[in-house]
Structure 1
Amino acid sequence: MALTASQLATGANCLQTNVDNLGFNATSRKRYWSLLLKRDGFRKLLPRTNWQLQISMTGTANHCSALCDTLTSSTPTDSYEPFRTNESTLIIVRHGESMWNEKNLFTGCVDVPLTKKGVEEAIEAGKRLSTMPLDIVYTSALVRSQMTAMLTLTQHCCQKVPIIIHKENEEAEIWSQIYSEDTKNQSIPVVKAWQLNERMYGDLQGLNKQETAEVFGKEQVLRWRRTYEVRPPNGESLEMCLQRAVTYFKENIEPQLMAGKHVMVVAHANSLRSIIMYLDNLSPQEVINLELSTGVPMLYIYKDGKFIRRGSPPGTKEAGVYAYTWNLALYKDLMLQRMLTKL
């Protein structure tokens, strides 16, 4: 479908903003623009721009042109398919605010839903991630994690349907089968795992944190909450939570990344602290001081067997601290062009 003059102008402004935000030098930005303008529809913008697109045929330009041609030729215009490179993306999201977060209660493994604010946080996370490639999603077995994942995916530009995978038993697996390949291709699998659940707080679950500190003392409650090896009464230590969460990550999620899949993990403060300790090689002291905001996604690039933290994609009302890779920058603008063609 041909783009209207209005859509082209809108696309030009969006692309200009995105390219400027990448932080490339002037020469790199010109080369990047030239690659984007090769796309059908956007090449019509070429006469209307003030850019001097005189590109020398250097090794870099040839490499970038070949990369762009590979991506665009392998990406169908009527469906979404994340491109494959030698790097993959890992997105980590702590669930949005829960009803017990709001009440300042120890939640642990008690299964409580999101608040209205938590729903809004999940939707905002989805907007931040709307142009990120996604193949599979992992959540905990708790509803606040699953609600966050589902609400986040409603904002994604691929418009695929998130489908929870049920493998509790043979009957559940058979009953939830999809028998249409086309439908499978238009869905994103969501895998539940109890190993990603929040740390089990034992006898503290359901108690008010402030009142508990008044009864047992702030120092004791702090030791229960933020000491690596100390367990709350009849609960898990952070070390115990780490063992189950990181073991699951290594055995199930990391192989997906190694295979080039793009993965999102939506879980909880302590299970995600545990995973981040593994990803960033943090010490026990460093991990207990790590704060994770509800509903704010964090991006890692997995490449050559290493995890590289890239910060958080920018929100709608804040400056971005998100460091793109070349492949992700290309992918984002290919998705932008696809959305504009559907207008």
Structure 2
Amino acid sequence: MSKHKLFLLRHGEGAWNKENRFCSWVDQKLSENGVLEAQECGQMLKQNGYEFGHVFTSILSRSIQTAWLVLEAMGQEWVPVTKSWRLNERHYGALIGLNRAEMALNHGEEQVKLWRRSYDITPPPIDESHPYFTEIYSDRRYSTCDVPKEELPKTESLKEVLDRLLPYWNDVIIPEIKSGQTVLISAHGNSCRALLKHLEGISDTDIVKVTLPTGVPVLLELDENLRPVKPRELLGDQAKIQAAIQKVEDQGKVVEENK
């Protein structure tokens, strides 16, 4: 029997989503379309009568901005929002800033798919010569983390995302859910995928096939032990959702004019 409802939300489209670049820990605001996605998500959740008791986000602006817009559209701006780097997007290391389609042309679609979607394959690490290294590691937000800045990742597999996310899930988010709050996690494609893998027991192989489009809330109904009692549900127009999933999956493919 369903006892708890948990909502996972990949933030609305950001500027680099639109440009098909690995954004990762580079801080980006939402694109105009991303703002609309977040607002429409909030309106849909309001129409369906959902009420949140607590919202969790990463410390990246696109995640926070999405949560604000969703809550505003729901008329629930007062709901507490808690932020943690442990919900950040996966750290893509040296791949940050690169165009996925161009990489598929240079390295092959299969290699790009492994870098993007596999469970335990780690991209090359970022170093001080990288054009975005200073922007990321001199950012004041990373002085607020619960680990020293020098211990923050320089690259991550999805497995490593789950490893740094689980302590926060267990120690901070679970108590909120078990206290009876309906929780929204407004985060990123890979932090949400990592948590789905944990909650649903998805295999290392099958997680490659799990795709989350931007701005589409995922409803999980959980029992008292926080195990799913039914399959996850992506809320909204199902035809639009399937088209959005296909668009995400196509990001790592060579574009036709380059073939």
After TM superposition, the score normalised by the length of structure 2 is: 0.75
The 1:313/1:223 distance shift into structure 2, 3 A limit, reads closer
Q: Is the 8 A contact 2:16 2:23 kept in 1?
A: yes
The 1:275/1:120 distance shift into structure 2, 3 A limit, reads same
Aligned counterpart in structure 2 of residue 297 of structure 1, from 217, 235, 241: 217
* 1:141 pairs with 2:63: no
Tell me, which stretches of 5 or more residues in structure 2 are unaligned?
A: 126-154, 242-259
Spell out the pairing of 1:228-239 with structure 2 (5 A cutoff).
Answer: 228-234=119-125, 235-239=155-159
Tell me, which stretches of 5 or more residues in structure 1 are unaligned?
A: 1-85, 162-186, 320-343
What does the per-residue CA deviation read over 1:124-176, in whole Å, with 9 as the maximum and x for residues that have no partner?
Answer: 110121120210000011001011111011121xx332xxxxxxxxxxxxxxx
Counterpart position of 2:228: 307
Counterpart position of 1:216: 107
- Counterpart amino acid of residue 281 in structure 1: G
What does the per-residue CA deviation read over 1:225-247, in whole Å, with 9 as the maximum and x for residues that have no partner?
Answer: 22211111102111111111233
1:221 CA drift (Å): 2.0
**Stretches of 4+ aligned residues off by more than 6 angstroms:** 316-319
Spell out the pairing of 1:241-280 with structure 2 (5 A cutoff).
Answer: 241-280=161-200
The 1:318/1:111 distance shift into structure 2, 3 A limit, reads closer
Q: Structure 2 CA distance, aligned partners of 1:225 and 1:312?
A: 21
1:311 CA drift (Å): 1.2
Counterpart position of 1:132: 50
Spell out the pairing of 1:167-182 with structure 2 (5 A cutoff).
Answer: none
1:317 CA drift (Å): 9.6
Q: Greater RCO between the two (CA within 8 Å, min separation 6)?
A: 2
Q: Structure 2 CA distance, aligned partners of 1:230 and 1:310?
A: 26
Aligned counterpart in structure 2 of residue 117 of structure 1, from 27, 33, 56: 33
The 1:218/1:262 distance shift into structure 2, 3 A limit, reads same
Q: Structure 2 CA distance, aligned partners of 1:251 and 1:211?
A: 41
The 1:289/1:300 distance shift into structure 2, 3 A limit, reads same
Q: Is the 8 A contact 1:109 1:197 kept in 2?
A: yes
SS of structure 2 residue aligned to 1:96: coil
Counterpart position of 1:101: 17
Q: Structure 2 CA distance, aligned partners of 1:289 and 1:160?
A: 34
Aligned counterpart in structure 2 of residue 150 of structure 1, from 68, 73, 76: 68
* 1:88 pairs with 2:27: no
Q: Is the 8 A contact 1:199 1:271 kept in 2?
A: yes
Aligned counterpart in structure 1 of residue 83 of structure 2, from 192, 217, 227: 192
SS of structure 2 residue aligned to 1:307: coil
Structural RMSD (CA):
2.0
The 1:225/1:160 distance shift into structure 2, 3 A limit, reads closer
The 1:137/1:209 distance shift into structure 2, 3 A limit, reads same
Counterpart position of 2:92: 201
How many corresponding residue pairs? 207
The 1:316/1:217 distance shift into structure 2, 3 A limit, reads closer
What does the per-residue CA deviation read over 1:44-93, in whole Å, with 9 as the maximum and x for residues that have no partner?
Answer: xxxxxxxxxxxxxxxxxxxxxxxxxxxxxxxxxxxxxxxxxx82321111
Q: Structure 2 CA distance, aligned partners of 1:285 and 1:270?
A: 15
Q: Which has the larger Rg?
A: 1
Q: Structure 2 CA distance, aligned partners of 1:253 and 1:98?
A: 26
Q: Structure 2 CA distance, aligned partners of 1:271 and 1:195?
A: 8
Q: Is the 8 A contact 1:128 1:315 kept in 2?
A: no
